[in-house]
Copies of this chain bind each other. A is one copy, B any other.
Amino acid sequence: MSEPRPITPVILSGGSGTRLWPLSRSQRPKQLLGLTHPETMLQLTVRRAQGPGYAPPVIVANAAHADLIEAQLAETAVASGLLILEPDARNTAPAIALAAFAASDPDDLLLVMPSDHVIENEIGFRAAVEAARGVVEGGWLATFGMTPDKPETGYGYIRIGAALDAGVYRAEKFVEKPSREVAETYLAERRYAWNGGIFLFRAGSYVDALERHAPQIAEAVRASVVAGRRVGDRLYPEADAFRRSPSDSVDYAVMEKAERVAVVPVEIGWSDVGSWDALHEIAPKDSDGNVHRGEVVAIDTSGCLIRTDGPLVAAVGVKDLIIVATGDAVLVLPRGSSQDVKRAIEQLKRDGHVTLDRAVV
């Protein structure tokens, strides 16, 4: 029997999320920041899937971040793979298609990962990836389903069907973000997992599914890769062809429609770190439930996230607040409402805060 085929990490770094404003900015989005750790989310993601059994990573990113990404990768000392630079943002289905069409062999196993999620249990994660290998080599598209511990309404869910292999099940149904009531029934039923946007499949299986369920994306992305320009480790897909691709998520375009989709339920300490609240939740806290980072002086505070990359922050007698400071902006809001960051950003744009607008967008 031959060596098992190595797995190629495909890391999606296209996000420009503003939910972690004022720290995340268009020029340095969340995945390029150190949020939970001195290393950046991208660096942690690259490290998560390296070593024996793993090929060098393929990173699909916004061309504006190319230099910063290369600098961050150089710090990880992980063997450099391919950096595919999107001429435009077209969501995840085309982004993954770039990696699939660029693969040297349709049998290449692609482990698709967002670049900005946390996984605490890396050993558990790799074991789950190995558990999926059998069905994936047999042509299935595999997802990893995060076992819910609360009725979260911010994620999509996957209904877990019949067993296919040890720890691997048919993905019976993909459900968009549910209402609170529905999420509660999912939690109680214990047959649903969160869709964390992590996938394993053969490059060829993805291409086949894409051609069947999203032929316009397949055609446009194939043409952009064929006519693309390779410069060192960088691949510049041909822009006009790529821009013809519809913008769609891999869930909508492929996973919800394909027939042979598997799910591997996991409990691996996953978080999408999608808000300051999420960051407070996953971070180690002091005995008063505070998470502080940077030059912070906190007296009689509890339940706070106080973080600064710029000015010193002094807080006295405050409770359950999120305070985030950078050199040019300070955000203050109650814990539990960090989704409201969006409202602040909308207001900033409306008010024409030029400095901020330049920085935020």
Contacts and interface: CB of A to CB of B under 8 A. Distances in A.
A195 B255 CA distance: 77
Given A316-B333, A321-B318, A332-B332, A343 B299 contact: yes
A299 B337 CA distance: 12
A185 B73 CA distance: 72
A60 B105 CA distance: 84
Interface in A307-322: 308, 310-318, 321
Contacts of A287: none
Interface stretch (A80-88, A95-103, A216-224, A349-357): A349-357
Contact of A332 (B310, B318, B343, B355): B318
A328 B356 contact: no
A329 B317 CA distance: 17
A253 interface: no
A344 interface: yes
A325 interface: yes
A329 B312 CA distance: 4
A281 to B, nearest CB: 19
Contact of A311 (B314, B328, B340, B344): B328
A44 to B, nearest CB: 28
A348 interface: yes
Contact of A330 (B300, B330, B347, B351): B330
A120 to B, nearest CB: 30
A310 B329 CA distance: 8
Nearest to A313: B330
A297 interface: yes
A22 interface: yes
A33 interface: no
Contacts of A328: 311-312
A303 to B, nearest CB: 14
A330 B353 contact: no
Contacts of A332: 313-316, 318, 321, 323, 332
Interface in A262-312: 295, 297, 299-300, 308, 310-312
A331 interface: yes
A185 to B, nearest CB: 30
Nearest to A328: B311
Contacts of A326: 311
Contacts of A323: 330, 332
8 contacts: A22-B314, A299-B340, A311-B311, A311-B329, A312-B329, A312-B355, A314-B347, A318-B332
Question: When A and B form their complex, which 10 residue pairs have the shortest distance between CB atoms, in order from nearest?
Answer: A314-B344, A316-B340, A316-B333, A315-B332, A313-B330, A312-B329, A311-B328, A314-B331, A311-B329, A297-B347
Given A299-B344, A318-B334, A321-B332, 20 more contacts: A299-B347, A308-B330, A311-B311, A311-B327, A311-B328, A311-B329, A312-B328, A312-B329, A312-B353, A312-B356, A313-B332, A314-B329, A314-B330, A314-B331, A314-B332, A316-B337, A317-B334, A317-B337, A325-B330, A332-B332
